[in-house]
Structure 1
Amino acid sequence: MSIAVTIRERRSIRQFNEKPIAPDMLLQLLNDAVWAPNHGLREPWRFIVAERMEAKVRLVDLMMESMGHLKRLKLMPGKLKQMMKLNYSKIPAYLIVVMKADKDAHKQEEDYGAVSCLIQNFQLLAWEQGIGMVWSTLECIHSPIFCEGLGVKSGERIVGILLMGYYDKIPKAKPRTPAEKKLTVL
């Protein structure tokens, strides 16, 4: 499959089947994804994975606790919260992508771009292996409760949580605006 085809066919996947992702597959994908461009080879990333049930339950508990202040969660009936927790714990694997924070705003922006490139590499590589995912930036990624619970250190920040697994159905593509309509030629 060509890179162009992979880019055009990849979709965000939110429904997964029960097939687990082998830890060596996850590591192989990450080892290829780290070849993302990054200024000065700073490699400003690290990863936290949750694929065992105990780890996923802990992760989901941290998510719920850290978002507990949100009005929409406060007003949610208890049974619905339990169903939400159960659904989140059924996701085959989570990858939390953490980046080093830099006091220099320019380096911080470069590093954020590099980590975003790494995540896109990872998504495309996984897609080729039949693994789908969605890149989530839930409110919890900014919560001290969530970050401390995962061991995110001072001077680090979470860029995203990748919810991933094998899938049975691919969502239909949504149209994209042609580049010509957003192109300015100087």
Structure 2
Amino acid sequence: MKNVSQAIRERRTIRKFSTRPVEQEGIVSLLNEAASLYEAEGTPHWRCLYFGTPESREALAESMIARVKESNLGKLLPAKMTGFLKKQINSTPAHIIFIAESAETRRQRDENYAAVCSIMQNVQLLGWEQGLGMLWYTDPMFFNGSLFSKIGLREGERFAGMLEIGYFEKTPRARKRTPAEESWSIIGEEDKLHSEFNTVSPQNVLKLLNEAVWAPNDGMREPWRFIYVTGDQAAIKLRSSGEDASTPFLVVVAKEQSDPHKQDEDYAAVCCLIQNFQLLAKSEPWHLRRLIPEWIYDTKQCKSFGIRPRERIVAVLELGGDKRVPDSVSAPVFFEQFSRENDHRR
């Protein structure tokens, strides 16, 4: 990515696209590059379906509006409105549906979902640099059992969202983001925080977070909170085997709403923020490692870090003092072109 900071700040959600076609080869290239930029422990598993032909978009449109037509609301809507929705889907040059594959444990399921959400953010940023706008779409009115059956969503898999993709002519105005300082706390000894040798000081971390908060979210919800952890007594609870106990960590927390759909949206938004932070940190002289440790599923452990009711830890970022090769495995791309002839119920 040429200018990460600029892409993060300038990217906007686009809802109106031009008629200029989007080539499948370009989409595949975007996906591969986006996957290569994702760095975390473990090997996440995900796949996606591409709708880039008139026939596949027609099938997608029919599946998306099927439930609307059958609902009480749909019966009250004029045919023109459902026709407009169908036309909108058909006229958008390309659609990609992203799916996190199933896993045996909650931790593995979270790893897969976090990965696919982060990769979707990478796709948006890389596409923006090429003049491609996108809309991350998850509306439960349209994404339902009828559509999931059509695309062959398998047992245990998790729908992450659909990106509508196309070139555009007008860039929407920016909307303000809340400074990271307003969602920030510190655990640790003050005398260790301001050392001139501390390249991963709270000030440097906050600087990146204030850029990273330009992450996609619905309705301008900002469902994140940050806990900077330093000092032996605090960091020892987080350190990996053999790591220095004085290594600072950033615990990234998501608020949890009662609505499961909004929970998923907020979790995805926090994953995008973390991905932004990781991309920005590549220009810094310190090592960053993204972790989903087993202890985050222990209520007692989480409570000791001040995690409140209806909150959950999304990731722990280990902030080392020197630049090292990330301990990561690139996320493979499982890309499939959708067509009516495909049997997706295998």
TM value normalised by structure 1: 0.92
The answer (yes or no) to whether the contact 1:45–1:99 under 8 Å persists in 2 is yes
| Mapping 1:69-148, distance limit 5 Å | 69-139=70-140, 140-141=142-143, 143-148=144-149
Supply the RMSD in Å over aligned alpha carbons.
Answer: 1.5
Q: Following TM superposition, by how much is the alpha carbon of 1:95 offset from its aligned partner in structure 2, in angstroms? A: 0.4
Letter aligned with residue 181 of structure 1: E
Question: When the two structures are aligned, how many residues end up with a matched partner?
Answer: 184
2:302 matched to which residue of 1?
none
1:10 matched to which residue of 2?
11
Change in 2 beyond 3 A, CA 1:95/1:84: same
2:31 matched to which residue of 1?
30
Letter aligned with residue 174 of structure 1: R
Q: Following TM superposition, by how much is the alpha carbon of 1:70 offset from its aligned partner in structure 2, in angstroms? A: 4.5
1:151 matched to which residue of 2?
152
Distance in 2, matches of 1:66 and 1:73, equals: 8
Q: Which moved more, 1:65-74 or 1:110-119?
A: 65-74
Q: Following TM superposition, by how much is the alpha carbon of 1:101 offset from its aligned partner in structure 2, in angstroms? A: 2.1
The answer (yes or no) to whether the contact 1:37–1:117 under 8 Å persists in 2 is no
TM value normalised by structure 2: 0.51
Q: Which moved more, 1:89-98 or 1:151-160?
A: 151-160
Distance in 2, matches of 1:38 and 1:11, equals: 26
Change in 2 beyond 3 A, CA 1:30/1:172: same
Letter aligned with residue 39 of structure 2: P
Q: Following TM superposition, by how much is the alpha carbon of 1:175 offset from its aligned partner in structure 2, in angstroms? A: 0.3
Select the structure of larger CA radius of gyration: 2
2:41 matched to which residue of 1?
39
Distance in 2, matches of 1:59 and 1:73, equals: 18
Q: Following TM superposition, by how much is the alpha carbon of 1:115 offset from its aligned partner in structure 2, in angstroms? A: 1.0
Distance in 2, matches of 1:103 and 1:4, equals: 37
1:56 matched to which residue of 2?
57
Secondary structure of residue in 1 paired with 2:48: strand
Q: Which has the higher contact order (CA 8 A, sep 6+)?
A: 1
Distance in 2, matches of 1:148 and 1:94, equals: 17
Distance in 1, matches of 2:169 and 2:72, equals: 34
Letter aligned with residue 181 of structure 2: E
Change in 2 beyond 3 A, CA 1:179/1:85: same
Q: Following TM superposition, by how much is the alpha carbon of 1:67 offset from its aligned partner in structure 2, in angstroms? A: 3.7
Distance in 2, matches of 1:64 and 1:58, equals: 10
The answer (yes or no) to whether the contact 1:39–1:111 under 8 Å persists in 2 is no
